[in-house]
A and B are shown apart, each in its own frame.
Chain A
Amino acid sequence: MLISFSWLKELVTLPARVRAEDVAKRLSLSTVEVEGVRQQGADLENIVVGIIKKIEPHPNADRLRVTQVDTGGKNPLTIVCGGSNLRVGQKVAVACVGAHVRWHGEGELVELTHTTIRGVASEGMICASTEIGLGERFPLKDEKEILDISDCAARAGTPLTEAFGLGQSAVLEIDNKSLSNRPDLWGYTGIAREVSALFKAPLVLKTPPAIKTGKGIALRVSVQDTVACPRYMAVALKGVKAVPSPAWMQERLHASGVRSINAVVDVTNYVMLEIGQPMHAFDYDAIKDARGAVEIVVRPAKQREEFTTLDGHKHTLHDKMLLIANKTRAVALAGVMGGDLSAIADTTHTIILESANFNARSIRRTSNTLSLRTESSARFEKSLDPAQAEQGLRRAVELYKKIFPSVEIASIVADTYSKKAKSLVITLAEAVLQKKFGIRISLKEVRQIFERLGFGVSVRGKNLRVEVPSYRARDINVSEDLVEEVVRIHGYEHIKAALPKIHMLVPAHAPLHMLARALKMRMAYENKFHESVSYAFVRAGALTALGLKPENHLMLSHPLSEERPYVTTTLAANLLEAVEKNQHGNDRVALFEVAPVFLPEHLKQGVDDGAIGRLPYQPLHFGCVYSDKNETHSFAYVRDSLESAFGAAGYDLKFIKAQEGARWWRANTAVDIWCADKKVGYCTIVGRHTQGLFGISHEAVVAEIDLSLVAKTNFRVKSYHVPSPFPAVTRDVALVMNESVQYADVQETLTHAHALVKNVELFDSYHGEHVDAGKKSLAFHITYQSNERTLTADEADAAHKALIAKVVHRYKAQVR
């Protein structure tokens, strides 16, 4: 919203020293966000009125002319110009050297310099309206047309700002989003009220007189849905004409970012800007019936009813949308936009003026559904004050009378408002201000703040009795709201910061949180995985590739993209997609994620929904994926990473070969992961078919673990052994055995093969040409150590020999 500072100053008497910037700053700190202060006319510096004295052809270009232009100086300027409507004696806007213009109305502002065009020196530029930011005000009819300002009385050399009466007026740019809860601020009056309170400056508000009922046109209004339309006022005015409105009105509309159309329409817009009340004027001839009477019906649209708005767009409506109609047809989309057939035309002499109140939700729904946002709908969807409708109508009539002195009221003033809302009275205790804000402020000062904001106030001992004005009924409901009014006007900067005196709490035991955090640290900093954070939503294709049925998933009702409508039950889907995305630039893709999954079928475990039901169960999952082109033992890498990361977090995992698993797992490569007595997850190599479905080029290992389950098992306390003071002896052994023998079994056998075995460590695992087909070689470092004495070489050798004998016998192995 744009607020012209000069207009604002007519509504609130500010001391002369207060500048627009000061108002902007105070408003920003206490009321709404002011995005900037623009000096209107600043862009028009060095642009003056010129009179064309002479036009000659350009010697080197057919389409250009060489002109002599009087710009008030001693000699006329020579200016090369390609304008299509040049004529001698014409008044034009001349940009002199140093002015800023936008070439052909496009791109950035460029500073004008002396230049030579096709061999002829040019000392300035005759501008088109779009080149100097006046395109809105003077729309181009033809691309090559220059701005003709012959109507203007100013002499040659007059700065354009002066010629147009733009002065150097400042405009405050207010962020509309910051007004969402303050319908009263959608007009100059509301902003002026705030400024009055902030600067303790008097408000200059004039109440327009009541409208005297007239005769001539029978006007009737009926409202079929009083929820959607709490109030509808209308009156007929005879003797208006679609002529240009007076300069002062055009100027204010323009400064506020609204285009001037004609006096009839401009008044409605002017009232909307001033008071915040959207208005509409219908052409009487277009909506009257055969007998000259007007019967307005406010009714819901019929299903699939068609309506053409005055911008020429045809809309198909539904029955939740509200229309303004007469007996035969619809004439306006209520609160959003009028219809094309009843728009003000050159022939208009009499109007039906509408000032109504519409339900915010209904307007928002209509405007969203039709993607049709207007100044009117933007205001109505904030919940306007029904009382404002009457002020709007009165003010509009007052303005019409001013512009068209012979205008007549030609009907009754129709008003459907039945139930006047009772104003709310709230008691505010002085103590609350101190207790909740730690500020000391006198009741007198508090009282003044409320009075300036238009509240009714009376003091009752240590309490204030505050009556909320109707235009604040929307946002002021409880005493806390009143406190905010005082504090924000007083200024948040005056509240002294302090830390609370703390009540110590016993910390809640949060094993899941601690597990997740420890796990993340270990996975990243020890196992060299990168943490990924992804969407909770997945593609159908990713689910089916993992053997999951999309229909068993929760779905978004309005998916962000058609591509990812499902709420995920597994982290594997997004992780596998990430492998595909990363594999081209990275030989090693190692990612993990910790995030909840959403299981629709586990309602009993879900938390309460605040009503009678429960939400879907949302266990926290850990997932990781690993695909490394230079690694031959990816699976073992992942499994060991999980073992060490969970182990460090205090949970021992067991990996047990899966007897049956999902179809997308590579056969024989999957393990179930157990923690204590609970099966908590899996780890597998992705089956080759599924790998292809995800477009992954290299073998990938995936693991997924339910952390919510893991955290429910008992946290392990680490055990420790007394270190032996005696030196250890190491012997190596390489064993060749059938591939079907499991490493874990061999490891277990070796560890318990002899009392002196302290540690068993695999250092090589080999398949290939140096062992027979169907065989593998495992090589171990075996550490022998006693807690009582230094072992002799003989003792160690004897133990090693016994160990080898045992393992060779048990697994039919050969020593290599």
Chain B
Amino acid sequence: MEHSLKALQEKALKEIAGANDIDALETVEIQYMGRAAGELTAILKNLKDVPAAERPRTGALANEIKQDIEAQILERREALLAREENESVFDVTESYVPRRESGTLHPTTQIQYELEDFFAAMGFRIIDGPELESDFYNFSALNIAPDHPARDMQDTLYIKDHPTWLMRTQTSSVQVRAMREYGAPLQAIASGRCFRNEATDARHEHTFHQLEGFVVGEDVSFAHLKGILDAVARHLYGEDTQVRLRPKYYPFVEPGVNGEVTCSFCAGGGCALCKQTGWLEIFGAGLIHPHVLKEGGLDSKKVSGLAFGFGLTRLAMLKYGINDIRLFMSADMQFLKQF
């Protein structure tokens, strides 16, 4: 018995090793291990006929041989499948048909949402205001005097037959509305379309997007303005980004500054994008003018404020290297699809 078992084992292992494809291996498997007529199955079934004294020993040997054969079959199967897979051809570059395409959000929307999330996480409230504004909220409340050039027909889009209505020229028009509605303390941002009466070319567009932010409260200082602008600049352009402030006149802030960041393309070394200066101008900012606080119903002796504004369109142009501003409003899918 023992002898024939060993012989069987030897024969089976040889045939397993000789099986050259999965079908041949299955034939071998059935020949030995088949439930009905397998040669080893038959021996195992006949174990009961073995004398009782030999049975444990023979039984153990038969089981050992069974496990060995099963293990060898498994190993051979893996090898054969691997060989088959290795020999097959598969084009990993082939595209799915029909082509899967996503829709897209407009590039300024994407930057707007990115900044909204950033400011919301800092505790800013997201608000909005009308695009068709009154000259009061857009100009007078913001300390822009009646003879200021910005109020000229040449610069602002007014509504016919309604001399006090205009298309807002800046998102700062929300400041006094928000102060009147929410009072202080308040930190809020607003974004959206702004309008200027300007001829359109590759660098000028009469409709563009801004994001405005402001903080009013006790002890709001210029240091805080710098702190917030630093944080935004790093968020947008990386931890090493520096901010530089330079005086700039805006009637609704005092002092007013424009903010530049180290050019993200040349890291400040000077390149075509930053016109060799190493700096990119990306925001206007300042401490809110007492006149504006007063119009907002706040006491400028107790409350101070800071404000800043970004051109979202400009940020998108810098981020993607877009050199023609007209593309933003073009509804051209060749442009939109890229974002």
Contact = CB atoms under 8 A, between A and B. Distances in A.
A744 interface: no
A492 B132 contact: no
A360 interface: yes
B-side interface mostly: mixed
Interface in A152-188: 178, 180-182
A508 B125 contact: yes
Given A438-B222, A554-B162, A558-B157, A493 B244 contact: yes
A368 B149 CA distance: 11
B123 interface: yes
Contact of A618 (B131, B187, B229): B131
B35 interface: no
Contacts of A618: 130-132
B215 to A, nearest CB: 6
Interface string B221-253: 111101111110000000000001111110000
Interface residues of A, number: 91
A558 B199 CA distance: 12
A802 to B, nearest CB: 39
Contacts of A492: 226, 244-247, 257
Interface in B230-289: 230-231, 244-249, 254-257, 287, 289
Interface string B271-313: 0000000000000000101100000000000001000000000
B222 A500 contact: no
Given A478-B290, A598-B132, A609-B164, A33 B246 contact: yes
Contacts of B334: 585
B101 interface: yes
B331 A532 contact: yes
Residue of A475, A499, A504 most packed against chain B (CB within 10 A)? A499
Nearest to A479: B290
Interface in A517-549: 517, 520-521, 523-536
Contacts of A555: 159-161
A557 B163 CA distance: 9
B206 interface: yes
Contacts of B209: 533
Contacts of B224: 498-500
B333 to A, nearest CB: 5
Interface in A188-209: none
B126 A510 contact: yes
A30 B103 contact: no
Contacts of A567: 132, 159, 167
B208 to A, nearest CB: 10
B52 interface: no
Interface string A360-376: 11001000100000000
B103 A534 contact: no
B18 interface: no
Given A360-B147, A528-B103, A590-B103, A178 B154 contact: no
A495 interface: yes
A430 B102 CA distance: 60
Nearest to B300: A480
Interface stretch (B22-30, B73-81, B104-112): B104-112
Interface stretch (B43-51, B134-142, B317-325): B134-142
A503 to B, nearest CB: 4
A556 B104 contact: no
Contacts of A181: 249
Residue of A498, A500, A556, A581 most packed against chain B (CB within 10 A)? A500
Interface in B169-186: 176-177, 182, 185-186
Contacts of B185: 503, 505
B325 to A, nearest CB: 12
Contact of B103 (A527, A536, A554): A527
B105 A524 contact: yes
B152 A368 contact: yes
Contacts of B137: 609-610
A436 B287 contact: yes
A233 interface: no
B221 A438 contact: yes
B212 interface: no
B83 interface: no
Nearest to B226: A497
Contacts of A714: none
Given A480-B290, A618-B131, A437 B152 contact: no
Given A505-B123, A505-B125, A508-B127, A437 B257 contact: no
A178 B249 CA distance: 8
Contacts of B215: 500
A524 B103 contact: yes
Given A487-B255, A500-B220, A555-B159, A528 B123 contact: no
A614 to B, nearest CB: 9
A505 to B, nearest CB: 6
Contacts of A616: 132, 165
Contacts of B200: 560
Contacts of B131: 536, 596, 598, 618
A606 to B, nearest CB: 8
Contact of A495 (B125, B134, B176, B222): B222
B227 A498 contact: yes
Given A527-B103, A528-B103, A499 B228 contact: yes
Interface residues of B, number: 91
B103 A437 contact: no
B336 interface: yes
B328 interface: yes
B66 interface: no
B123 A586 contact: no
A507 interface: yes
Interface string B191-205: 001010111100000
A615 B128 contact: no
B38 interface: no
A474 to B, nearest CB: 11
Given A505-B185, A615-B165, A616-B132, A517 B113 contact: yes
A178 B102 contact: no
Residue of B101, B128, B130 most packed against chain A (CB within 10 A)? B130
B217 interface: yes
B329 interface: yes
Interface string B51-86: 000000000000000000000000000000000000
Contacts of A523: 103
Contacts of B122: 502
A536 B207 contact: yes
Contacts of B127: 508, 510
A483 B207 CA distance: 35
B222 A437 contact: yes
A606 B268 CA distance: 47
Contacts of B256: 484
A383 B128 CA distance: 36
A529 B101 CA distance: 10
Interface string A469-488: 00000010010110110011
B247 A582 contact: no
A291 interface: no
Given A531-B104, A595-B193, A497 B227 contact: yes
Given A497-B223, A581-B331, A609 B102 contact: no
A582 B158 CA distance: 31
Contacts of A29: 244, 246-247
- List the 6 closest pairs (A to B, CB-CB), nearest first: A610-B136, A484-B255, A609-B134, A578-B331, A497-B226, A524-B103
23 contacts: A438-B223, A480-B290, A492-B245, A492-B246, A498-B221, A500-B228, A505-B187, A508-B126, A525-B102, A528-B101, A531-B106, A532-B336, A533-B193, A536-B207, A554-B132, A556-B157, A556-B159, A556-B167, A558-B158, A560-B200, A598-B131, A610-B136, A618-B130
Given A533-B108, A557-B161, 12 more contacts: A436-B221, A480-B287, A484-B255, A495-B222, A500-B224, A508-B127, A524-B104, A528-B103, A554-B132, A560-B198, A560-B206, A615-B165
